[in-house]
Amino acid sequence: MKLSYLQKGCGKDLLMLHGYLATKESFYPQIEYFSRFYRVTSLDFLGFGNSGELTEPYSVSDYADWLCAALTQLQIQSPYVIAHSFGGRVAVKCLSRGNLFERAVLTGCAGIVPKRTLRYKLRVKTYRLVKKFAPRYAEKKFGSSEYRSLSPVMRESYKKIVNEDLREDAKKIQVPVLFLYGDRDTETPLSSARVYHACVKDSRLRVLENCGHFAHLDNALAFNLAAEEFFK
First to last CA, the chain: 34
Measured distance CA(104)–CA(82) in Å, rounded? 6
- Residue 146 in 3-state DSSP? helix
**Checking DSSP bridges between strand 5-8 and strand 39-43, what pairing results, if any?**
antiparallel
The band of 121, judged by pLDDT with boundaries at 50, 70 and 90, is very low
Q: Which H or E run contains 6?
A: strand 5-8
Per-residue pLDDT tens for 143-168? 666 777 788 999 999 999 999 999 99
pLDDT at position 150, please? 86
Alpha helices in the chain (DSSP H): 28-34, 60-74, 86-97, 118-133, 135-142, 145-148, 152-162, 167-170, 190-199, 215-218, 220-231
The band of 190, judged by pLDDT with boundaries at 50, 70 and 90, is very high
pLDDT at position 46, please? 96
Provide the whole-model pTM: 0.88
Per-residue pLDDT tens for 11-30? 999 999 999 999 999 999 99
For the chain, how are helix, strand and coil distributed in percent, rounded to 5?
45, 15, 40
pLDDT at position 99, please? 84
- DSSP lists the bridge partners of residue 83 as 17, 106
Residue 119 has pLDDT above 90, yes or no: no
Any idea what DSSP says for residue 99? -
Mean pLDDT across the chain: 91
pLDDT at position 82, please? 98
Nearest to 83 by CA among 106, 103, 60, 67: 106
pLDDT at position 126, please? 59
